[in-house]
Every structure is written in C-alpha cells, then in structure tokens.
A and B are shown apart, each in its own frame.
Chain A
Amino acid sequence: MDIRELKKLENKRKMNKGYMWALFCAILWGIWYIPGTIIWAVPPFDSMWVAIDATHGGSMATIAVALLISAFNALTVIAALLIWNGYLGKFGEMKRTLKEFHPCSKWFFLASIFGGPIAILGSFIAIGFIGAGFAAVAALLYPVIGSVLARQWYGEQISKRAWMGILVIIVGGLTIFVGGAITEITSGSINYIGYIGGLMAALGWGIEGAIAGKGLDIAEPDVGITIRFIGEASIYWIILIPIFALVGYPMFEYALAAFNPLSIIVLGFAGITFGYCYVSWYKSFPLIGVGRGQGIGNLYGLCAVIFMYLFMAQVPAWTVLVGGALCVLGSFVMISEETGDAESLRGE
C-alpha cells in the first residue's frame, strides 16, 4: 500500500473514531431520559413539587424542582467525570487548563452558561411540563444552530453531503416534534412554558457546541468538559439556587433531603449517562467537526424514544417512528461520506 492510500486509510479511521464517539453520545444521552424522568417521582423532589405548588402554583413548582434536579445532575456529572479523568491520569492537565482562564477555560465557562441554565434546565423544564419524549425531540434542531455558528465563527468546513444528512435528520426531528404538538393542540392544552424549555434546550446546546469547539482547539476534551460542568454547577449552586431561596422557595431544605439512597441512585445514574455522553460529544468534535458531531449526536432523540418505550412503556406515535427513521437515514448519509484526503475540518 502506498503512502497516499495509507493516509486515506488513517483519515478514514480518524473519522470513524469521531463518528463512534458521537454515536456513544447519542445512546447515553437517550438513556439519560430514563433517570431524567424517574427523578421527578423520587423523594424529596415529588414532595417538593407538591409543597411549592401549594404556595406558588404548579408552574413555579415545576421550574423550582427542575432547577434543583439540574443542580444535582451537574454535581453527579462532575463526580462521574472526575472518576473518568482520574482513570486517564488527567488531573494534572485539568489543573493546568483551569489556570489558563483567559485563552482557554473562559470558553468552557461560557459554554456552561448555554449548556447548563439554558439547555439542561430548559430540557428539565420541558420534561416537567410536557414529558421526556417531547423534551428529547424538542432539542433536535440544535445541530443546525451549532453548524451555522461553527461555520460563521471559525470557518468550519461542512460538506454538501454533511449538510444533506443534517437536513434529513432535522426533517425527521420536526416530524416527531410537530406530530406531538398537533396532538397536544387538538387536545386543547398547550404547555407554553414546556415549549419554551424545549426551545431553550435546542438553542442552548447548539450555541454551547460552537463555543466549546473554540475552547477545544487548545484543550483536551476530557478536561474541557469537566471544567464546563464545574462552571454549570457553580452557576446553579452559587447564583440561581440562593436567589430562589432568597425569594422564598425552600431550595436548601429539599437539597439536604435529596441525600437519600433512592435519590442518590437515580441522580448517580443520570450523572453517569450524562457525563459520559458529554465526554463522547466533546471528543467527537475535534475529529469530525461540530456540525457532524452534533448531527450524529442527534440520534439521541430516536434512542430516547426507544429507551422510553423499553423501560417506561411509553408507546411512540407513528410520527415519532417516521421521524426516527428519517433521523437514522440522515445519520447514514453523513457516515457514508467519502472523506478523501481532507485532513483538516477548517479547510486548510
């Protein structure tokens, strides 16, 4: 085999590795909706909702519980990521990267704002108001935002074929989304705040991916994602939860009550699935680009529907099945792309 062939093969291997990471992300992300749904029915979050509903109404109860769940989710993700980094021996690199705030860490802290209080909190709000199935598919548009921003901000090259795959996935996502929305509109009850939560998730994750891509130029993904979650946890525990507590919500009382075995198990499960899904997401970006990484990662919508069916007996509607099939098709359009000699994703 000549050098040219070997180079092609090496490039192909690299792309495949990136796609594999993105697929891991999709599967783990899909599984995450199981603990993400169960946690609402676990003490103290169930009684917290009832208590706040009595004083402030159901909508505020859902938002306050979503905030506390998101805050714990961030903590368990950090625990999972610290184990991961310890296993890889990357604590030294983490310290070095954290110190480099101006050129490096600031991007992860910025990503944590969009990924945390906007995307993840939005997603929990969507789960709380409408349901996990909806929350999962509502964010399916995020790769469009991520791809467009990555192209605008740092000229990431996205081939026509990759665009085509992304578009098919989006059409699939919209089929799932619109199908659910029509059912809800015809039933006469529309949870506007839930839809806003879904929109927050789509915008937040799209923007986060593009910003994180910038930080990942010069940081290792395993380390970058941990810093990103340290940022998110800080926003919840240092800013948002104290503000909610100050205006009269019993945040800290229920936070303390969350230290019970059942809640810890469910939150731990959420932390493991979400933490490793995020590691896979960030690891795929430098290899296949933000656009493709997010496009394949988008299969999480379909995975979530499958896992929700298998473990929670939530039967999907036909629109979900058609949309899911389109999502798979779109991903195959992207994966089957001939990468040729393209060594860089930035068109060098």
Chain B
Amino acid sequence: MAGLRPIKFRLLELFTDEKEHWNNEIVTQMQKEYNMNSNFGRDSINFDILELASGGMLKSVESKVDEDGVYKKGFLLHKYVITDFGKVRSSDACLEYV
C-alpha cells in the first residue's frame, strides 16, 4: 500500500493508530516509503503534516526544541495525535479506520 496513496492520506493513515508520533519520526518513515530523501522532500512532507494540523486533523500534544539536530537543529519538534475531526476525514478518505 505504501507509496500508492496521496501523501496526506498516508499521513493520516499513520496516525489512525491513535498513538502520539513525533513529526520527525513520521517524516523519516514517509521519506523512505515515498523515496523522497532530499531536504526538499523532508520539508515538503513536514509541511503536509503542518497543513493537517492547521486543518484540525492532527493536534500537537507535546513540543521540544531539536537540540540534537534529528530533524533540523534549533527547530521545534511536535508530537501529534489524530483528532476526532481527523478520524472523520480519514474515514472519508476510505482509510481503514480501526
């Protein structure tokens, strides 16, 4: 399935386990799945996560400064969880929601 669906669909799908995920971990996983290994690819995926949060489908439950440069040194990392609205949109997107 990986790589076959639009990026935001897959992002929502990854969050449908209702667990909290750090954005940098999700970005790394997506980069591998979609073969988007450049810095542009990384930022583009992170931007999609930001848009999902901005649209109310994900919400940040914890933040920390990226001291070690796991994503970008000095940047804020966010731990996101799917919202109820996100679940509804996931179902709309025909994701198998468990």
Contact = CB atoms under 8 A, between A and B. Distances in A.
Interface in B48-81: 48, 50-57, 59-60, 63-65, 76
A26 to B, nearest CB: 21
| Listed residue (B4, B56, B89, B93) with the most chain A CB atoms within 10 angstroms of its CB | B56
| Listed residue (B52, B53, B54, B76) with the most chain A CB atoms within 10 angstroms of its CB | B54
A346 B8 contact: no
A3 B54 contact: no
Contacts of B40: 89
B6 A218 contact: yes
A172 interface: no
A347 B56 contact: yes
Interface magnitude class on chain A: 20 to 34
B92 A3 contact: no
Given A6-B65, A100-B6, A219-B6, A346 B93 contact: no
Interface residues of B, number: 32
Contact of B93 (A10, A92, A218, A344): A218
B83 interface: yes
B97 interface: no
Contacts of A100: 5-6, 9, 93-94
B50 A14 contact: yes
A218 B56 contact: no
Contacts of B64: 3
Interface of B: 4-9, 12, 34, 40-41, 44, 48, 50-57, 59-60, 63-65, 76, 83, 85, 89, 92-94
Given A100-B9, A345-B54, 8 more contacts: A7-B60, A7-B63, A88-B44, A218-B6, A218-B92, A286-B55, A345-B56, A348-B83
10 contacts: A3-B76, A7-B60, A10-B76, A96-B7, A216-B51, A216-B55, A217-B55, A220-B7, A286-B51, A348-B83
